[in-house]
Amino acid sequence: MNELTYKLLTRNFNDCCPVNLDDYIESGGYSSLQKALAMDGTDIINEIKDSGLKGRGGAAFPTGLKMEAVKLAEGNPKYLICNADEGEPGNFKDRKLMENDPHQIIEGMIICAYATGIRFGYLFIRGEYAKSRKTMENALEEARSGGYLGDNILDTGFDFDIEIYTGAGSYVCGEEFALLVTIEGKSGRATYKPPFPTTMGLYDKPTQINNVETFCTIPHIIEMGGKGFSELGTESSKGTKLVCLSGNVKKPGLYEVPFGVSVRQIIFDIGGGVPNNRPIKMVQLGGASGPVIPENMLDVKLDFEDMKKQGLTFGSGAVIVMDERVDVLDILKRIVEFFHHESCGKCTPCREGLTQLLIILDRFIEGTASNQDLELMKILMDTMTQASICGLGQAAPTAVMKVLEFFPDEFESRINTLESAAV
């Protein structure tokens, strides 16, 4: 492939069919679990803390701290949830992880459950991912018959099992509280926090909830040791990251890279650049809820610190390339329409704000927008970002805000164009 990519989580990927239990064991699978089961739970958590692993779902919360909080939280039973409700446009890494190497996820979940003292696990799979579900069902069955799941795992006396829960395809159910209430049988709507799921999660019990990729990383940390793992990546960002490269790029697809590579390297050195070498207009990072950046910022590194310094985030790892042919406002309208469709409708800024944001965007597109519209749009987006109840409403205007920041002319040039044309 390329010296910039790295095979850790994707090392068993064969682009053909899921790795079955025998092949997984053959490649060293479940040996981390055996190693972990001989350890003390606190020691496992310490290894994970030492590894510097941060959550791969987008929020980048230190996984070891989360596990420690769940372990220390009062309440019984506790729950472990793998968030595989991958709904962020531009992302497909969780699907690939499930469909290529299902046991890697299961092993990671069992290790975490053992470390934090949890007996019940849920795997929440996005409704549209029928194939992922099937693959995971088979793998869970294999794991049970192999003695890795269920009662008395590998004769250690530890009991843990995983149940699959499928959503109905609602984007907001990837938000952890909306996800939790869905499992409880309620309609998927976000709620305020704190309290966080670590103390008051599923059925108001302490709950560890992590992304698929995060769980997949756990067996490797146990295998390499926390310190060994932390040598991969950069000072602020340890390990590898799955990147979902899409858009106007020659070789779109899923790539695993060590932290520290630049977005430019991902697009050009790994992805082969833009077809016909057309200039890049902008690149969206993370997915529909992420920031867009202009060509001259492509040297930003896949690194939590470097991104933060530049006011950026890379969410769960999507890189969407858009060349010079795109109509920026048209792209923004599609993005805002997506969030408008997916808003749960609970809180005012998101429910009403997205409707109004679309109306104002349309004025710019139609050429009827005024200077006041520009001001109103800014104050509206500030309110959505600041006052929405969950990440959906808070992040929904991100792309629009970044276009205003990096491509102000896209808006300013369209103020009152209809009128001036008429004159």
By CB under 8 A, residue 351 contacts other proteins: yes
Based on the shown chain and the rule CB under 8 A, indicate whether residue 125 belongs to the binding site for other proteins. no
Nearer to other proteins, 71 or 346 (CB): 346
Q: How many other CB atoms sit within 10 Å of the CB of residue 44? A: 25
* Ranges within 154-173 binding other proteins (CB under 8 A): 170
Residue 368 found at the interface with other proteins (CB under 8 A): no
Residue pair 272/293 in contact (Cβ under 8 Å)? The answer is no
Nearest to 97 by CA among 11, 36, 175, 179: 11
Establish if 342 lies at the interface with other proteins (CB under 8 A): yes
Nearest distance from C-beta of residue 289 to other proteins, angstroms:
15
Q: Output 31 or 394, the one with its CB closest to other proteins.
A: 394
* Cβ atoms within 10 Å of 61's Cβ, excluding its own: 16
Which of these segments, 249-257, 265-273, 344-352, 409-417, binds other proteins (CB under 8 A)? 344-352
Tell me how long the chain is: 423
> Which of 260, 273, 349, 397 forms a contact with other proteins (CB under 8 A)?
349
Among 138, 199, 356, 416, binds other proteins (CB under 8 A): 356
CB of 166 to other proteins, least distance (A): 18
φ, ψ of residue 67 in degrees (nearest 5)? -65, -40
Span from 49-57, 98-106, 161-169, 376-384 in contact with other proteins (CB under 8 A): 376-384
The three-point CA angle 174-86-320 to 5° equals 120
Burial (Cβ within 10 Å: 0-12, 13-18, ≥19) of residue 212: buried
Q: Which range in 37-45, 231-239, 245-253, 375-383 contacts other proteins by CB under 8 A?
A: 375-383
Nearest 5 degrees, angle CA 278-CA 93-CA 397? Answer: 65
Strand partners for 163 = 122
Q: Which of 95, 301, 340, 402 is in the footprint of other proteins by CB under 8 A? A: 340
Q: Does residue 1 touch other proteins according to CB under 8 A?
A: no
What's the closest the beta carbon of residue 352 comes to other proteins, in angstroms? 4
Q: What are phi and psi of 166, to 5 degrees?
A: -110, 130
* Residue from the set 65, 297, 376, 401 that interacts with other proteins by CB under 8 A: 376
The CB-of-342 to other proteins minimum distance in angstroms stands at 7
Could you say whether residue 65 binds other proteins (CB under 8 A)? Answer: no
Q: Can you tell me the distance from the alpha carbon of 419 to that of 77, in angstroms, rounded to the nearest whole number?
A: 65
Binding to other proteins (CB under 8 A): which residues in 179-218? 187, 189, 191-192, 194
Binding positions for other proteins, rule: CB under 8 A: 170, 187, 189, 191-192, 194, 340-349, 351-356, 359, 372, 376, 379-380, 382-383, 385-389, 394
